[in-house]
Each structure stands twice: as C-alpha cells, then as structure tokens.
Amino acid sequence: GAVVSQHPSRVICKSGTSVKIECRSLDFQATTMFWYRQFPKQSLMLMATSNEGSKATYEQGVEKDKFLINHASLTLSTLTVTSAHPEDSSFYICSAGDRGFETQYFGPGTRLLVL
C-alpha cells in the first residue's frame, strides 16, 4: 500500500516552454500533497503544500506564478513549470499524505532538463 506515482520520470524541454508533472496516489486518498525540489547531493527543499480543493501554500522564495500547482482530486496533484529556463533544471519530487498514516510517501521523482 501507500504507492505514489509520478510522471514523467524524465523530461527535456526547450527554454520558454511549459512542463507539467503529475503526481498520483494509487491506493489511498491524499488529502495533502507536497512538491519538493532537490539539488545534487543536497536534501529536499519544500516548494509548496497542496490541499485538495484549495489553493497551494508556497514556501518563501518560490514563485507561485512560475510553479503552478493544482490539486483537483484526492488522488492527483500537478506541478506546471511555466516558461521554463535552464535554472529550473532540477529533480522534482512529490509526496502524499493521508490523515490516517501521519507519514509522507514519495513518488519516484522527475528529472527536468531545460535547454
């Protein structure tokens, strides 16, 4: 149980294009989902918290217009990197939590490369 999928696993795009990353909880209802960014050899940096049916809460320094988050259902959250630039290249990870679990379960991550 507690499986989280993330798609795509890897994406390469041109500068100026937008990229959408999907995060799905496969066997539980995720009332809360998190989006992280991880730089090489570093810990996870929380970007935003999304609650189903409400607006995401962004961490300080994260541009909400740059990183659009939608949590439209209890099993799906999406992160859209708008007008991507090379500095947005990174590893993005989502996680999901269920009130019954008190634990975050992670997707396999998406490696984004912006050329």
* Distance, CA of 102 to CA of 86 (rounded, Å): 36
Residue closer to another protein (CB basis): 78 or 90: 90
Residue closer to another protein (CB basis): 89 or 91: 91
Q: How far is the CB of 35 from another protein (least distance, A)?
A: 12
Residue closer to another protein (CB basis): 40 or 86: 40
Residues that bind another protein (CB under 8 A): 32, 34, 38, 42-44, 46, 49, 51, 91, 93, 95, 97, 102-106, 108-109
Residue closer to another protein (CB basis): 36 or 67: 36
Q: How far is the CB of 95 from another protein (least distance, A)?
A: 7
Q: How far is the CB of 83 from another protein (least distance, A)?
A: 26
Q: Which long-range contacts (CB under 8 A, 24 or more apart) does 19-22 make?
A: 19/80, 19/81, 19/84, 19/112, 20/78, 20/79, 20/80, 20/81, 21/78, 21/79, 21/80, 21/81, 21/92, 21/94, 21/110, 21/112, 22/76, 22/77, 22/78
Q: How far is the CB of 22 from another protein (least distance, A)?
A: 16
